[in-house]
Amino acid sequence: MDLAAEIKKIIAGDVFADEATLKKYSRDASLFSVKPQIVVFPKNIDDIKSVVKFVNKNKTQYPGLSITARSAGTDMTGGPLNESIILDFTKYFNKLKKLEGEYAVVEPGMFYRDFEEETLKQGTIMPSYPASKSLCALGGMVANNAGGEKSLIYGKTIDYVEELKVILSDGEEYRLQDLSGPELKAKIQQSNFEGQLYNRVHALLDKNYDLIQKAKPNVSKNSSGYYLWEAGDRQSLNLAKLMIGAQGTLGIITEIKMRLVKTKQSSGMGVVFVKNLSQLSGLIQKVLPLKPSSFESFDYKTLKLAIRFFPRLLKSIGAKNLFSLGLSFLPDLWTILTFGMPKLVLLVEFEENSQEEVASKLSSLSEALKGAGVKLLLAKNKQQTNKYWTMRRESFNLLRQKVKDKSTAPFIDDVIVLPEKLPEFLPKLYEILNKYKLNYTIAGHMGNGNFHVIPLMNLEDDEELQKIPAAADEVYKLVLDFNGSISAEHNDGLIRSPYLLKMFGAEVYELFKQTKNIFDPNNIFNPGKKVGATMKYALEHIQPK
């Protein structure tokens, strides 16, 4: 079958099957390459419906047919990669449809940077943006349940999505929202596809309620598995909550209604240089009661990388020239010379409604850290604050683009444990990484206990490749021994889906499989993610950058 020709007959949008396009859509920000058959840019809702119905109709004759929705392609797990049909939403489904007060209605292909520009005009923001805020799009943020530097006090994307419009496996569009009482009862009693869906999901949740609630990871952020524990209790049901973080495996999101928050008028940052990991427990206990808006970290390797490539940071930081930017690094260099190279650099940012409140918080931070054996620098202006945020946000891109002989290998990039366990957890994590002689950087969300470990590897070397499953096995065992989650915000994709059985156990994993089957009985939506994944497939599709 000439798939491109057949799809062109039934949609108004664009269809591409040329090698350049297929090569581009074979990659995301992960270490994988999976080549699709065609890339489709749907122009309207009817286009998406037509593709879904076409795939369902032809699935028996052509079992490899499937659909993966994609927005900006910044995912680090292989989530938007597929061997069949890619639906890209950035070309036509990229509009802000409504912005009113503290709510917005937006299409999934709109880039977050454009969305934020509009919300800031009215003094609001969607605060769960990830470090890739200048690159990512809203659809991917919802599909991955994105979180980032502000999730310490603001939570994750799931906390802001009010409603979703979704095309389900019957090829029709539905509005998904929180339902209870007579509304939920009416849905369940419908005899059509929608009624059967609500009936079966409600029954699954009700029958397994205690097991599901017990399965919820005991950490502040989690992107692994299906969020059955968020979908409702015995009196309510919200199918939108199941779509969030599902990586497009249950349906195709076409519209997002989300809540916004008002921006704070003033901010300030303290930068803490830490020499010994044993200091972390005391530091966390001192900092968190002050209620910072962000409590982030990066390691000395990231600091060295930023200093080494500081001309690259010039544009992002907003310095007027190299001399000005160089001067902004002098306090850091002086601290390194007098205090020593830190093991970790912590960023503690406060956002308040007045500069006086910020100054008071920074003063309290200085007082709290006296005698703690750390070095505290206060960012004196917006440029200095942006410098540190750029180091934190741009470390992954610097690794990808500037280290020529090796590739970034994000396969243990999103672990999370309770913050109070970090002093015991981190040395054991370092021990595993050093055991496999991995060259890596670590950055993360200290206030949540969430760390991003990015090894640099020669992915053309078989010995290096063999380290990936071996090191992942040990790291994830360690995380689970500490009752953490293998993914706080980056999700499962190709790389972590094979570990969900180990993380959640056979009973809960079976519920994940049942959930997938209820929504997608023909397995047409983004197969091989969440359930049905194998490490063998993942390893076979690893390719150097």
Clarify whether residues 47 and 128 are in a common domain: no
Asked whether residue 366 is assigned to any structural domain, the reply reads yes
Clarify whether residues 24 and 151 are in a common domain: no
Asked whether residue 363 is assigned to any structural domain, the reply reads yes
Clarify whether residues 105 and 211 are in a common domain: yes
Clarify whether residues 83 and 115 are in a common domain: no
How many Å apart are CA 140 and CA 146, to the nearest integer? 8
Clarify whether residues 30 and 109 are in a common domain: no
How many Å apart are CA 150 and CA 349, to the nearest integer? 10
Clarify whether residues 133 and 251 are in a common domain: yes
Asked whether residue 435 is assigned to any structural domain, the reply reads yes
Taking alpha carbons only, the member of 158, 193, 157, 192 closest to residue 178 is 158
Q: Are 31 and 407 in contact (CB under 8 A)?
A: yes
pLDDT at position 380: 73
Clarify whether residues 310 and 400 are in a common domain: yes
Asked whether residue 36 is assigned to any structural domain, the reply reads yes
Question: Last residue of some domain: 234, 262, 290?
Answer: 262
Clarify whether residues 48 and 157 are in a common domain: no
CATH of the domain at 393: 3.40.462.10
CATH of the domain at 57: 3.30.43.10
Question: Last residue of some domain: 32, 53, 88?
Answer: 88
Containing domain of residue 34, as a range?
3-88
Residue type, 509: Y
Asked whether residue 61 is assigned to any structural domain, the reply reads yes
Q: Which pair of structure tokens corresponds to residue 461?
A: 């070397």
β-strand 439-445 against 407-408: which pairing, if any?
Answer: unpaired
Asked whether residue 94 is assigned to any structural domain, the reply reads no
Clarify whether residues 47 and 157 are in a common domain: no
Clarify whether residues 81 and 114 are in a common domain: no
Q: Are 459 and 542 in contact (CB under 8 A)?
A: yes
Asked whether residue 527 is assigned to any structural domain, the reply reads no
Question: Last residue of some domain: 230, 262, 294?
Answer: 262
pLDDT at position 397: 67
Clarify whether residues 302 and 439 are in a common domain: yes
pLDDT at position 276: 86
Asked whether residue 520 is assigned to any structural domain, the reply reads no
The domain total for the chain is 3
Q: Which residues of the chain have pLDDT under 70?
A: 309-330, 334, 394-404, 545
CATH of the domain at 115: 3.30.465.10
Sign of the C-alpha dihedral computed for residues 40, 45, 46 and 50 taken in this order: positive
Clarify whether residues 109 and 227 are in a common domain: yes
